[in-house]
Structure 1
Amino acid sequence: MQIKNAVDTAYPSLAAEALHGLAGDFVKAVEPNSEADKAALLLSFLTAFGNYIDRSCYFEIEADKHYTNLFITLVGNTAKARKGTSFSYIRKLFSYVDETYALENIKSGLSSGEGLAYHVRDEIARYNSKTNDYEIIDEGITDKRLLAYESEFASVLKAATRDGNILSATLRQAWESGNLRTLTKNNPVRATGAHISILAHITKEELLRYLNESEATNGFANRFLWACVKRSKLLPLGGSVNEEELKTIALKVRQAAAYAKRLAANSLNKLELSSEAEALWYRVYFELEEEKTSSSLVNAITQRLSTQALKLAVIYAVLDMSSTIELEHLQAALAVIEYCEQSAKYIFSELSGDVIADKIYQALLISESGLTKSEISRELFQRNIKKERIDLALASLIARDLIYSEKEETDGRSIERFKMKLEK
């Protein structure tokens, strides 16, 4: 099902500045010979490299250090957006870069905060009353890098909303500081200095269905960058990417990662803006911080764009083996941010931030036969919302051209049924 946009929101376009340096070289090597979207290839590459270099380089904002771990969700209008194809090339590239990393640090299956913390856990010691000392019962994980690849992000969103599940809170900790602690009474797990990145895939319909109001506004959603992706072309027999070209790029990735490690070893890993980049930053910062639209939901989801931009700028700089964020690195980062901001507007334009209207809309998304007012009142709100309030929400959805109503004749009387409006 392809749902109709609430407003005439244009599909985003990726500016050429985003294809700067080694990240651009990777996209240009793969995209002409693949059905994958160039934005999907670019963002997947930036996420993987940002994770691969660990907590080596950062940008400092006041007292906070922001490292290069990104949370990216690729959103396709349908299941045929070739999101998985883009990641196949990332896995292949990083198997050339570091086969051990590709095998052991890229994992799937986010389902609980405890499970996430366990994969990057610290050493676990338990007090032995007989010896009057602590003994190691689990040596923990030495390499704290984790790239969580979630091809079915809808299942993660559903898990995060279950009663007692702390996944959402743990992911917020992972993005913010990398210090995780679960408070499970019988099996507490602590992780310090974890470097967790997320690369997720979902369809637009699933995202609007499963991202609930709480996760959209509590800081979970705005730690992600949301990017529209679609199939770039039709290749009946698939494409053929030059393996030697991929291996050359892999060598350069290793060199850039080694450079980041040297910066950290010499305490030069706090990257700063060049004078030209700083001048641009002063011009764009206020725009990034201001509210984007009349939609409170879109504004909540795009609330951290300035921090995300600086994370990306550090990645572009390290890829160029630069200890300073130059103008071109910031421009590339801002081009990605612009794409993701426009994507958020395109993706979430259906949701208004009106809790009642949005809940009705999400229910109609998964209802093949539609819902009557009686069913909406009983099944969605347990008859706790006044009829006038439901009428207002339905009128709002109809006015935004998202749903329509039709009359049905039953036993001599007519009932009004509300349904999704689909794109023709």
Structure 2
Amino acid sequence: MNTPDASGRRLRAVTAAPTQPSTTTAPSTTTPAGTDPAAAEAATVAEISRARSALPALDPVVFDCYLGGLVHAVADYTEGDPVNVLASLLCLCGVHLGQGPHVRAGDDFHPLLVWPLVIGRTNSGRKGAGWSSAKRLATAAAPDFMVANVRSGLTSGEGLAAMFTDDPDEAPDDGDTPAKPRRRGGRLPAGDRRLVVFEAEWAGVMERMKREGNSLSATLRAAWEGGDLSTMAVTARIAPESHIGILGHITPDEFRSKVSRSDMAGGTYNRFLPLMVSRTRFLPGGQGAPDAIVKGLGAELAERLDAAGELDSIGFTTAGDALWRQLYVEFGTDTGDRPEVEQFISRAAPYCLRIAAIHAALDLADAIDTRHLLPAAALVRYSIASARTALTDDQAAAKLLAWIAAAGVDGRTRNEIREDYCHKHKRATEEARKVLADLIDSGQVAVGKRPGKGRPTEVVTAVEIPRAS
């Protein structure tokens, strides 16, 4: 069905993807000397499958939205994870829409800002490939925005705020137009407060944030709320308006090694939407999506972005309000995870609201409906599972999962884990309990019952991850 925009024009509908695309393609014909091409490529495909199976379970309803349709249209042409492409588009579109479209949670104003923290291994994660696919679509839709409003190189809070600080010296009055403050260095187009910060090496930003006197953490917390980055320090800055999206890439090991409990408790990282990703397919010599497809999708996206940018406050339909009440309870209640996980996911409810509002805006709707909340909630659930996975030692999880899997359908009891796996060591048992909880939460291990003479015994078994391929 076509959707009318604000002026009555008909916008072409993009069919959302019900599932993620396949993870394999035709093999390459070139391999290193002395290597069997078929065997090498089969091993590569097997490794892709293994890496995918280690990710948390993903509900394909994530892609039942306009942006999901864009992801589906280019998915066969990229090795990047569809979740990465979707999240990158959410970040870019939310910033492009500007400060007009917004939602409210009580008295809190929420700009449509989404800050994905894309977590994947250096090689198998293909984090850059997912960003490249999203960037290409966004460039086709808004080339000027992508050149002028997308930057890298976060170093300090002062540096970020300076992007929005007007020079107190006014530009000369030419007699025709009033004098206006000059933008220092011309860093953003005059009057434009939209900025996307893309950091391919977020670990470096984390290092800089730890330096004594660095104000970046505090500035980021203010920026997520949207608006004022001004200070009252001796070197005061006046930056009353901002609309910033942050998109960072990092590996699981880097994140675990650099983030501390105090970092989590400080409230900076609960502004981010953690998402585990991995390579989806084997595309040697891939050229990306054909230009004709990208240009067509970009033209459609441009129309929607322009019309959606005129929206103001976004409310709820009756059905949307009823579903949001349920989701607000789900995402606003403690999950029982260990403290660092709870802190990482503590903004799940507002993130669900922001993402749903972006979906609604791109449908040119001024009210959030169930069709917007369902994919938003699915992405937030995946983010919660990603946080658990990201904060779990991969080697410890893989080792325990392999030990459980070795038992086959018989599974392992918790007592067997304590006695046979941990050899009754108290500390090892406590760590294994945490890892097991994460494996259960991520869907990699299932809990069942083993019948016996008396009461059935609880057992855990390894399961096939129900992640769409």
- TM-score normalized by structure 1? 0.75
CA–CA separation in structure 2 for the residues paired with 1:401 and 1:95: 42
Is structure 2 residue 246 aligned with structure 1 residue 193? Answer: no
Is structure 2 residue 124 aligned with structure 1 residue 77? Answer: no
Structure 2 match to 1:343: 386
Q: 1:309 aligns with which of 324, 349, 352?
A: 352
Kindly state the Cα deviation for residue 16 of structure 1 after the two structures are TM-superposed: 2.1
Is structure 2 residue 73 aligned with structure 1 residue 29? Answer: yes
CA–CA separation in structure 1 for the residues paired with 2:55 and 2:392: 12
* Shift in alpha-carbon separation, 1:290–1:10, aligned structure 2, 3 A: farther
* Shift in alpha-carbon separation, 1:85–1:10, aligned structure 2, 3 A: closer
Secondary structure at 1:54 match in 2: coil
CA–CA separation in structure 2 for the residues paired with 1:18 and 1:394: 37
| Contact kept? 2:101, 2:310, Cα under 8 Å | no
Kindly state the Cα deviation for residue 39 of structure 1 after the two structures are TM-superposed: 0.5
Secondary structure at 1:190 match in 2: coil
Kindly state the Cα deviation for residue 167 of structure 1 after the two structures are TM-superposed: 0.1
Structure 2 match to 1:266: none
Q: 1:243 aligns with which of 268, 280, 291?
A: 291
| Contact kept? 1:120, 1:145, Cα under 8 Å | no
CA–CA separation in structure 2 for the residues paired with 1:313 and 1:205: 31
Structure 2 match to 1:279: 322
Structure 1 match to 2:272: 224
Kindly state the Cα deviation for residue 153 of structure 1 after the two structures are TM-superposed: 0.1
* Shift in alpha-carbon separation, 1:111–1:183, aligned structure 2, 3 A: farther
| Contact kept? 1:74, 1:201, Cα under 8 Å | yes
Kindly state the Cα deviation for residue 33 of structure 1 after the two structures are TM-superposed: 1.4
Structure 2 match to 1:164: 213
Structure 1 match to 2:334: 291
CA–CA separation in structure 2 for the residues paired with 1:50 and 1:291: 28
Kindly state the Cα deviation for residue 202 of structure 1 after the two structures are TM-superposed: 0.2
CA–CA separation in structure 2 for the residues paired with 1:349 and 1:287: 23
* Shift in alpha-carbon separation, 1:209–1:123, aligned structure 2, 3 A: same
CA–CA separation in structure 1 for the residues paired with 2:434 and 2:310: 55
Kindly state the Cα deviation for residue 294 of structure 1 after the two structures are TM-superposed: 3.3
Kindly state the Cα deviation for residue 122 of structure 1 after the two structures are TM-superposed: 3.1
CA–CA separation in structure 1 for the residues paired with 2:427 and 2:222: 35
Q: 1:95 aligns with which of 133, 139, 143?
A: 139
RMSD between superposed Cα atoms in Å: 2.6
Structure 2 match to 1:371: none
Structure 2 match to 1:206: 254
- TM-score normalized by structure 2? 0.68
Structure 1 match to 2:26: none
Alignment of 1:18-417 (within 5 A): 18-125=62-169, 138-140=182-184, 141-182=190-231, 185-186=234-235, 188-263=236-311, 269-350=312-393, 396-397=430-431
Kindly state the Cα deviation for residue 13 of structure 1 after the two structures are TM-superposed: 2.9
Kindly state the Cα deviation for residue 242 of structure 1 after the two structures are TM-superposed: 2.2
Kindly provide the amino acid, as one letter, of the partner of residue 245 in structure 1.
I
Kindly state the Cα deviation for residue 280 of structure 1 after the two structures are TM-superposed: 1.1
Number of equivalent positions: 342
Kindly provide the amino acid, as one letter, of the partner of residue 285 in structure 2.
L
Secondary structure at 1:149 match in 2: strand
| Contact kept? 1:110, 1:156, Cα under 8 Å | yes
* Shift in alpha-carbon separation, 1:394–1:332, aligned structure 2, 3 A: closer
| Contact kept? 2:65, 2:375, Cα under 8 Å | no
> Where in structure 1 are there 5+ consecutive unaligned residues?
1-8, 127-134, 264-268, 352-360, 362-390, 403-424
> Where in structure 2 are there 5+ consecutive unaligned residues?
1-52, 171-178, 185-189, 396-424, 437-469
* Shift in alpha-carbon separation, 1:22–1:75, aligned structure 2, 3 A: same
Secondary structure at 2:119 match in 1: strand
Secondary structure at 2:331 match in 1: helix
* Shift in alpha-carbon separation, 1:214–1:124, aligned structure 2, 3 A: farther
